[in-house]
Amino acid sequence: MSTLKSSAEDLTLNADGSGNDVIIQSNASTKAIVTAEGNVGIGTTSPTYPLHIKSSATTTANFDAGSDGYDVQLRFEQNGTFVGAVGFDDSKDVVYLNRYGNATKGLTVDSSGDVTIPNATGASFILSREDTSNQTGDLIGAIGFRNLDTSSGTEPNYCGIKAKVSGGAGSDGELEFYTARNNYEADSGAAVIIRDTGVMELAINHLKFGTAGKGIDFSATSDGTTMTSEVLDDYEQGTWTPTLIGTSGQSGQGYGEQSGRYTKIGRLVHLEFAISLTAEGTFTGSYMKISGFPFDILSTPNTINLGQAYFVNMGQDIITMGFQGHEGTDSAYLWIKTSAGASREYLAMTGLTDNTHITGALTYAN
């Protein structure tokens, strides 16, 4: 026999007999039930958990502190021992998920949607794959970043980071960085890969430094006693146009070829060039020079030989010809030797012809 009994303090609703449920109805429709096993069902007559809530529409469980200044918490215990909580911390205005019961540690989400993992001794976010049969290339964990705006009619932007097994069970992992959605979903074409050895690979593009003067730092290597910098901060390739000039002027030259290319590594500049004249023209001044270097020569030291020339069809007999850098400018003097002697000579202003051909390679500091 089922009974409903009240006393000065308690109200007892009892379904007598083994296996009988306590059922709460409205207009002959069951709204809640407490089964003989102790499971509570709201919206279901067959709850399979201690608390089972079911609805034919959106299901919401509401916890309301009733007024400002109070926290709200859903607490978890195991055999009477606290093991975690989901809650709202009023003083910090954040929702938290952790094993501490407050917002000082664990995962928090503030009113702007920002996620934080506060921890006074250092925060951790760990993705773990519990699998002892990992093979090379197996995914350990991934973090994806997606723009869900599809108003343009295109697929969302997507980039992400994947951690993978590098060498089978028990091995270290490697990180893959993706910047394109198709590559991320296809699991190929990572932009950057950091191997388990610490080696970083740029898989699909270049390494670019966004600030002048920044570069690759070699400070871990041994130093010379007068070292001033260990940063490789520049690299460049290109072309330049070599031109023959006199120190006071030139006119009437014709060129069949004027080609040059350069490579700049840090402050070191290497040039290669070829000049072929079709008309010698006139040169004036004390010295003849080659000019048009892509970068000026360093101001000091002075009188440096930058390299030697190959030449044919000159206007005077020459044993050898080289390039003496003109410091602080984009040019070099053409120095020569016509005979054995203690000093250099310089090419005469009439030392060329209408079909002179000169090639050479020069190296200098910028």
Which residues are 243's β-sheet partners?
291
Q: 352 or 59: which carries more pLDDT confidence?
A: 352
Quote the CA–CA distance of 66 and 89 in Å, as a whole number. Answer: 14
pLDDT tens digit string along 105-117?
788 898 888 888 8
Write out the residue limits of the CATH 2.60.90 domain(s) in the chain. 237-365
Domain 237-365: give its CATH architecture. Sandwich (2.60)
What pLDDT is recorded for position 153? 64
Quote the CA–CA distance of 255 and 15 in Å, as a whole number. Answer: 112
Query: If you ran DSSP here, which 8-state letter would residue 121 be given?
Result: T
Percentage of residues of the chain with pLDDT beyond 70: 93
What pLDDT is recorded for position 352? 97
Compute the Cα dihedral for 340, 346, 348, 354 and give only its sign.
Answer: positive
Q: Is the pLDDT of residue 4 over 70?
A: no
pLDDT tens digit string along 189-201?
898 999 888 888 8
Neighbours of 273 (CB within 10 A): 25
Per-residue pLDDT band at 171 (split at 50, 70, 90): confident
Q: Please tell me the pTM assigned to this model.
A: 0.65
Give residue 333's identity as a one-letter amino acid code. Answer: Y
HSE, side-chain direction, 13 A CA sphere, residue 97? 5
Quote the CA–CA distance of 308 and 190 in Å, as a whole number. Answer: 46
Task: Name 4's Cβ contacts closer than 8 Å, sequence gap at least 6.
Answer: 11, 12, 13, 14
- Range 257-276 average pLDDT: 97
Whose CA is closest to 238, among 281, 201, 273? 273
SS3 sequence of 95-107: EEEECCCCCCCCE
Cβ proximity of 277 and 356 under 8 Å: yes
